[in-house]
Amino acid sequence: MSDVAKLAGVSTATVSRTLQNPETVKEETRQKVFKAIKALDYMPNVLARQLRRMETKTILVVVPNIENNVFSQIVGGIDAVANERGYKVLLGNTNHRVEKIYDYIDHFKQRQVDGMIVLLSNLPDPVLQDLANEFPIVVTPDAKATVEVSTVTLDNVESGKRATDHLLKLGHRRIAHISGTLDITSSQDRLQGYQQAIVEGGYFVDHTLIKEGDFTFSSGFEAMSALLNTSVPPTAVFCASDEMAMGAIKSIKSRGLKVPDDIAVVGFDNIKFSEVFEPTLTTMAQPLFQMGKKAMTVLIERINNEALEEQHFIYQAELIVRESCGVIFR
């Protein structure tokens, strides 16, 4: 920077000003400085700027598993807004090991990041609360209502309800549910929506028709197998993830039964392969990319102190009707 100042015949302060507040520098001087910058191919040292400003223009995204398409889609949305607004995205993979997040928390204390977006951490409430009180944080897409922190979530109750409603409308009465791991709110809510739909439809919830899975293909397969082993198997299943829905369908097929003719299936997520799978999957599509964008936008507001109160944004899932639930394609 001093080289630039020398070449332009001004002080380093003027160079700095030209870069930070060009309007406070006389047009003529500004030109001289820019010319010197070009001539020397000068780039400011961001490290020094960061130290001076105590900000990094970097945000941390804590994700359980980047290889999971649901998360990578959200990260895609975050990244889009981050780029647009001049922020860098630091990736923190926890590999589902909660302890790892404590390493990332240190980044805050060391001022290495200006804010943080937490994707589905099973962080204990008090820890998260303390952190949220002190630093800009946004939680998505699964957040507990017990913590005061900004969130971007899906209306999982309504989504579960609509998925189940769809099956009810198709005439099904014995509808099973294969849930996600019930330690996370989304799973609980989807289950609740499922139950609400049944009750509001005027029927009774049969708890033997509810199985807990863990979002994976194999857990869907096994849960469905268990359901098929009962004396009166269901005629339809609502699964809390597309992967589990595919597992369930594989199980149904392995018994020589057909989807949707014998058993109708609705999934959740609308992953890429839900339209490649046979039968193509009826599913609830989450606007993951949008949610990622929103999370980043909200975070920036908090970083800039534009939003003092915590905010909650709730998105609706869209029912995508394909072959696995019958009717339309029959």
Q: Is 83 left (phi over 0), alpha (psi -120 to 50) or beta?
A: alpha
Enumerate residues 257-276 that contact its own copies by CB under 8 A. Answer: 273, 276
Rule CB under 7 A: is residue 1 a binding residue for DNA?
A: yes
Helix (H) or strand (E) holding 115: strand 115-119
Enumerate residues 28-57 that contact DNA by CB under 7 A. Answer: 28-30, 42-45, 47-49, 51-54
Q: Which amino acid is at 272?
A: K
- Residues near 230 by beta carbon (within 8 Å), at least 6 away in sequence: 208
Look up residue 207 and give its DSSP letter.
G
d(CA 264, CA 163): 12
d(CA 51, CA 110): 11
Pairing of strands 137-140, 312-315: unpaired
Cβ of residue 119: shortest distance to its own copies, in angstroms?
Answer: 13
d(CA 296, CA 86): 12
Partner touching 261 among its own copies, DNA, none, CB below 5 to 8 Å by kind: none
Rule CB under 7 A: is residue 2 a binding residue for DNA?
A: yes
Q: Which is nearer to DNA, 13 or 199 (CB)?
A: 13
Q: Which is nearer to DNA, 9 or 76 (CB)?
A: 9
Q: Which amino acid is at 135?
A: F
The pair of structure tokens assigned to 79 is 């990244």
Number of amino acids touching DNA (CB under 7 A): 30
Partner touching 24 among DNA, its own copies, none, CB below 5 to 8 Å by kind: DNA
Partner touching 278 among DNA, its own copies, none, CB below 5 to 8 Å by kind: its own copies
Which stretches of the chain bind its own copies, using CB under 8 A?
Answer: 43-48, 50-51, 54, 56, 58, 65-67, 69, 72-73, 75-76, 79-80, 83, 88-91, 93, 95, 100, 103, 106-107, 109-112, 217, 246, 250, 273, 276-278
Which stretches of the chain bind DNA, using CB under 7 A?
Answer: 1-2, 9-17, 19-20, 24-26, 28-30, 42-45, 47-49, 51-54
